[in-house]
Amino acid sequence: MVLAPMVGLSHCATRMAMQEFLPKAVKSLWPTEMLSSRRLPYQSEEQTPEIFFRDRDRGLVPQLLGNEESFIRDSIKKLEDWGAEAIDINMGCPVKHVLQHNYGVALMGDGAYAKSVTEMAVRSTSRPVSVKLRAGLQSNFDFLLQFAKGLEEAGASWVTLHPRTAEQKRRGSADWSQIRRLKEQLKIPVVGNGDVQCKEDIHAMFSSTKCDRVMMGRALLAKPWLVGFGVEEAEKNFPQNPSEEAQLYGRFLLRALDFAEEFYVESWTLRKMKFLIYHSSPWLDYGHTLYANTCKAADTKQMRWQIEEFFKWNPLMRDRTDLRR
């Protein structure tokens, strides 16, 4: 299992809190938030909490947005100095300001250029380079296959597919059959992503697509123990019912808050915790109340109190929710 890169969510405090669900000897891959190769060479950890990184974060695979060799090279050098074990290139982000720079999913509009961007990254590092992509600008599997084969030829070590088109953003449903078809045709590993919400979905994704790893985003923030899926020692501690699941989610939020308080200034901690709760609470009965209550918190002490009080009500966790956010 791997956590998906998510702006505002996959920062060091969330990662560290999630790592506690894995035995120390077990290694996963950990994304960063999406980092701009134009800005990264000039950013410092002190001024930019998004790039704050701690040693226990082993297996770090930072995600880079880029399309120009000098920026990509300088960014990768910096990420290697921080201990990055691989580099992921973002070819999936459909947000307007990213498209204006012609990176993110815009790169899927030009297969030859996307291939050359991958080559730039591969030339800049001896570590593996992966690419996270979408189904494309339109739903056309032949195009997607040729595009991904170009990345493979360019030296990508693996690809992650979130099978939605750029236009879909996060609407509609992810078409897992594209993951299966890509896996059948590529030589490099394929990581499957999209709409995995619970243990049964992880099984279903693995068995229906034969993908090499499952990447989970939003639901893993609500059920962080699932990062240990398939690891016997971790699975022994999985919660046994919806009430235990909810309590464990509550403890995860408090651990994320501990780490955020340690690493970041209070205003940033509050903002990021609210964002985390916004995206993870929909699996919880009355999750909207947890979100509304924590939004009232004026400082981290109140935030902690609101979380602790809410979970005294013994809420329940659901397997699935409507993923429209």
Ligand X SMILES: Cc1cc2nc3c(=O)[nH]c(=O)nc-3n(C[C@H](O)[C@H](O)[C@H](O)COP(=O)(O)O)c2cc1C
Q: Which residues are catalytic?
A: 93
Nearest distance from C-beta of residue 238 to ligand X, angstroms: 19
Nearest distance from C-beta of residue 289 to ligand X, angstroms: 21
Please identify, using beta-carbon distances, which residue of 87 and 304 lies nearer to ligand X.
87
DSSP per-residue string spanning 303-319: HHHHHHHHHTT---B-S
Nearest distance from C-beta of residue 217 to ligand X, angstroms: 3
**Positions in the binding site for ligand X (CB under 6 A):** 4-9, 34, 63, 90, 92-93, 132, 162, 193-196, 216-219, 279
In angstroms, rounded to a whole number, what is the distance separating the alpha carbons of residues 165 and 94? Answer: 9
In angstroms, rounded to a whole number, what is the distance separating the alpha carbons of residues 314 and 310? Answer: 8
In angstroms, rounded to a whole number, what is the distance separating the alpha carbons of residues 26 and 84? Answer: 17
In angstroms, rounded to a whole number, what is the distance separating the alpha carbons of residues 232 and 229? Answer: 8
Contact status, residue 49 vs residue 267, Cβ threshold 8 Å: no
How far, CA to CA in Å, does 2 sit from each of 32, 62, 75, 85, 308?
A: 12, 13, 23, 14, 28
In angstroms, rounded to a whole number, what is the distance separating the alpha carbons of residues 290 and 308? Answer: 10
The residue among 56, 52, 55 whose CA lies nearest residue 44 is 52
In angstroms, rounded to a whole number, what is the distance separating the alpha carbons of residues 103 and 89? Answer: 10
Please identify, using beta-carbon distances, which residue of 163 and 250 lies nearer to ligand X.
163
Nearest distance from C-beta of residue 196 to ligand X, angstroms: 5
Please identify, using beta-carbon distances, which residue of 57 and 195 lies nearer to ligand X.
195
Phi-psi region of 169 (alpha: psi -120 to 50; beta: other; left: phi over 0): left
Residue nearest to ligand X (CB): 217
Please identify, using beta-carbon distances, which residue of 82 and 305 lies nearer to ligand X.
82
State CA 290 to chain mean position distance.
Answer: 23
Please identify, using beta-carbon distances, which residue of 10 and 294 lies nearer to ligand X.
10
Please identify, using beta-carbon distances, which residue of 236 and 324 lies nearer to ligand X.
324
Instruction: Calculate helix-pair angle for 141-153, 176-185, nearest 10 degrees.
Output: 40
Nearest distance from C-beta of residue 313 to ligand X, angstroms: 27
Spatial CB neighbours of 164, under 8 Å, sequence gap ≥ 6: 134, 135, 170, 171, 172, 174, 175, 194
Nearest distance from C-beta of residue 171 to ligand X, angstroms: 11
